[in-house]
């Protein structure tokens, strides 16, 4: 008979009671402890809403991280910061995967104990997270004792419910991928470097070997119909859509039971099967459960969502889609736990059009890239140019080119033109055209919408629509498109500013002021029907629209390039308490325009200076 998870503490088995008494998420890094406590405090008052819970995959410590790992971290961080911008309590989980055959072999090769090997690797990933400013709240390690206890508890639940059985297993096994592949998913190739004929995974290209052993299996095939029904009910579960279709196809055509343990004589570095110490739990069952154990699993009844469970978004690379989009939902269904809301599966960064891979050495060291180009440059470049659906190729020259065009020549140039421009007063323009912050009207803004220029009216319409467009891209889990939309808005405003040429109008106005005879005033009235006051209004309208473009862009860019965005908002004089999403509406803030920091002259104090080392 299958037993279910007890619903009350009084009905727990002795082992379950022991685990629950000992179980608390204690692996929060000390540097993040205060942030985490504040996050929890904000979510534990009178029936709180569930915090937004977003995760990176936990990274394998068999080798040092590369730019691809940094990209995954950054995408996750941007999505979390966007939620913070919108004042939603949020929790970001990252960490390291420290069990399995690859770790065992790498530690042996390095001639150190596996735990020591993992300690070193975990510190490198922690350093990377710190260097890129990732706003992580929990850093989990699968060697943590409490994670181990949670995995053991989950195994017991799966076994008691009848989802695990023992059997002989034969198949193609990849040490690199830590998984068995069915026959249709492997192929024979000739290895270019050696000329050897080898069997490889079609999906990853990694070598596989035929293995026959006795171990435990999970009844994955029993979840085919339930998985397909879930996918149909949640068509946006996997992003992008093409990978959702691939997942559905895999489940429809091939879903065999899954081997979830390995004999200890072959793999001893991992969590042992609680009821059979001769077997080690499959690393992917162990690793995937981190998303639950980090959130407090096994949960105290009634408090499951306190730490964010279930996840709102898992961010993973496209090479681990099957594990996260098929195995993980099936494990959760078997445990009677809620499934994550969405899984963002991003494409890869390549180098020389070849996938970055630790095993081949075809990588870019993220620490070197950060030293060379700086934090916000790398944050901006990787998110702006990185692919969700399609791979992107990494090139140092391309970073410099994009930086000069978009950041220096785009956002930085617009900032300098407006905030350092002579002949106009940004604060005066804001007072003239911004709404009273206490009585915001989402409708029309007559002083701007009556702009005589057709292009000016069109530019104003695009500006008003920009925050909504960016937000839609973020909701669709396409932060690259969101950032591109912000940068396009800046480029459009630079183009409009060049056409409107307020500096020319300033020159004309100065000429009128210098004409004591009034002859030029009469000429203007006769030829253009304009007065000096009309010219001042033209200047202020143009300057205000450009300043609003900068303000709105700065607010939204806080999720992408937080340091530069903060600097931009300081240069505009935007108050710290007016930097959340509620202020991201044209005309809402009427208080800015006086810089809060020195603007400097020439290269001094510019938003985006020349790179220290240009290619």
Tell me: pLDDT of 439 over 90: no
Question: Residue 58 has what pLDDT?
Answer: 97
Q: Exposed/middle/buried for 132, CB within 10 Å: 0-12, 13-18, 19+? A: buried
Lowest model confidence (mean pLDDT) among 143-157, 183-197, 210-224:
183-197
d(CA 266, CA 249): 33
Q: Are 341 and 309 in contact (CB under 8 A)?
A: no
Lowest model confidence (mean pLDDT) among 55-64, 348-357, 513-522:
513-522
pLDDT digits (tens, 9 = 90+) for 250-309: 999 989 999 999 999 989 999 999 999 999 999 999 999 999 999 999 999 888 899 999
- Helices 366-373 and 114-131: angle between axes, nearest 10 degrees: 20
Tell me: pLDDT of 5 over 50: no
Angle at 42 between CA 24 and CA 335, to 5 degrees: 40
**Which whole number is the average pLDDT over 322-335?**
98
d(CA 472, CA 97): 33
Where does the pLDDT of residue 202 fall: very low under 50, low under 70, confident under 90, or very high at 90 and above?
confident
Q: What is the mean pLDDT of the chain?
A: 87
pTM of the model: 0.85
Where does the pLDDT of residue 149 fall: very low under 50, low under 70, confident under 90, or very high at 90 and above?
very high
Other C-beta atoms lying within 10 Å of the C-beta of residue 455? 12
**Which whole number is the average pLDDT over 73-81?**
98
**434: DSSP letter:** S
Where does the pLDDT of residue 611 fall: very low under 50, low under 70, confident under 90, or very high at 90 and above?
confident
Domains, the chain? 395-583 (1.10.730.10)
Of the chain, the percentage scoring pLDDT greater than 90 comes to 66
Q: Are 574 and 592 in contact (CB under 8 A)?
A: yes
d(CA 198, CA 189): 6
Angle at 354 between CA 351 and CA 355, to 5 degrees: 85
* Number of residues in the chain: 615
Angle at 68 between CA 366 and CA 184, to 5 degrees: 150
């Amino acid at each position: 008979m299958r037993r279910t998870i007890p619903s009350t503490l009084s009905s727990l088995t002795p082992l379950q009671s022991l685990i629950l008494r000992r179980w608390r998420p204690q692996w929060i890094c000390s540097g993040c402890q205060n942030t985490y406590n504040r996050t929890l405090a904000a979510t534990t008052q009178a029936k709180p809403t569930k915090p937004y819970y977003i995760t990176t995959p936990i990274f394998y410590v068999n080798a040092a991280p590369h730019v691809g790992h940094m990209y995954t971290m950054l995408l996750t961080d941007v999505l979390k910061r966007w939620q913070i911008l919108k004042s939603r309590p949020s929790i970001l989980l990252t960490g390291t995967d420290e069990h399995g055959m690859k770790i065992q072999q790498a530690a042996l090769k390095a001639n150190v104990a596996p735990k020591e090997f993992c300690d070193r690797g975990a510190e490198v990933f922690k350093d990377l997270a710190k260097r890129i400013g990732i706003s992580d709240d929990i850093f989990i390690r699968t060697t943590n004792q409490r994670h181990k206890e949670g995995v053991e508890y989950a195994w017991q639940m799966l076994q008691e419910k009848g989802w695990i059985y023992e059997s002989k297993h034969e198949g193609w096994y990849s040490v690199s991928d830590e998984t068995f592949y069915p026959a249709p998913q492997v192929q024979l190739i000739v290895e270019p470097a050696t000329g050897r004929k080898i069997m490889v995974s079609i999906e990853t290209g990694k070598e596989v070997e035929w293995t026959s052993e006795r171990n435990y299996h999970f009844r994955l095939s029993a979840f085919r119909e339930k998985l397909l029904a879930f996918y149909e009910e949640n068509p946006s579960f996997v992003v992008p859509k093409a990978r959702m279709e691939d997942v559905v196809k895999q489940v429809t055509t091939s879903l065999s039971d899954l081997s979830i343990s390995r004999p200890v004589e072959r793999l001893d570095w991992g969590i042992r099967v609680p009821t059979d110490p001769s077997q080690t739990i499959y690393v992917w069952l162990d690793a995937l459960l981190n998303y639950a154990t980090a959130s407090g699993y096994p949960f105290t009844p009634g408090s499951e969502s306190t730490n964010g469970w279930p996840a709102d978004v898992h961010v993973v690379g496209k090479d681990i889609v099957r594990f996260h989009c098929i195995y993980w939902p099936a494990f959760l269904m078997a445990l009677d736990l809620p499934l994550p809301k969405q899984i963002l599966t991003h494409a890869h960064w390549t180098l020389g059009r070849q996938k970055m891979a630790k095993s081949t050495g075809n990588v870019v060291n993220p620490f070197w890239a950060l030293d060379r180009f700086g934090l916000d440059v790398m944050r901006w470049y990787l998110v702006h140019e990185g692919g969700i659906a399609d791979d992107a190729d990494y090139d140092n020259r391309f970073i410099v080119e994009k930086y000069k065009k978009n950041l220096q020549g785009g956002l930085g140039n617009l900032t300098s033109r407006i905030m350092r421009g002579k002949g106009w007063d940004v604060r005066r323009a804001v007072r003239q055209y911004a709404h009273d912050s206490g009585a915001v009207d989402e409708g029309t803004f007559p002083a701007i919408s009556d702009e005589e220029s057709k292009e000016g009216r069109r530019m104003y319409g695009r500006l008003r629509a920009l925050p909504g467009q960016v937000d839609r891209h973020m909701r669709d889990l396409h932060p690259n498109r969101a950032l591109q939309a912000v940068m396009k808005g800046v480029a459009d405003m630079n183009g409009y500013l060049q056409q409107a040429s307020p500096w020319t109008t300033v020159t004309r106005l100065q000429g009128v002021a210098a004409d004591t005879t009034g002859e030029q005033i009469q000429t203007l009235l006769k030829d253009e029907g304009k007065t000096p006051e009309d010219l001042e209004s033209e200047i202020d309208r143009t300057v205000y629209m450009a300043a609003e473009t900068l303000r709105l862009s700065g607010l939204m860019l806080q999720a992408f390039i937080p340091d530069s965005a903060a600097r931009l908002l300081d240069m505009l004089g935007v108050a710290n308490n007016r930097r959340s999403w509620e202020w991201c509406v044209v005309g809402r803030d009427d208080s800015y325009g006086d810089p809060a920091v020195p603007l400097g002259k020439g290269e001094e104090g510019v938003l985006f200076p020349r790179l220290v080392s240009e290619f």
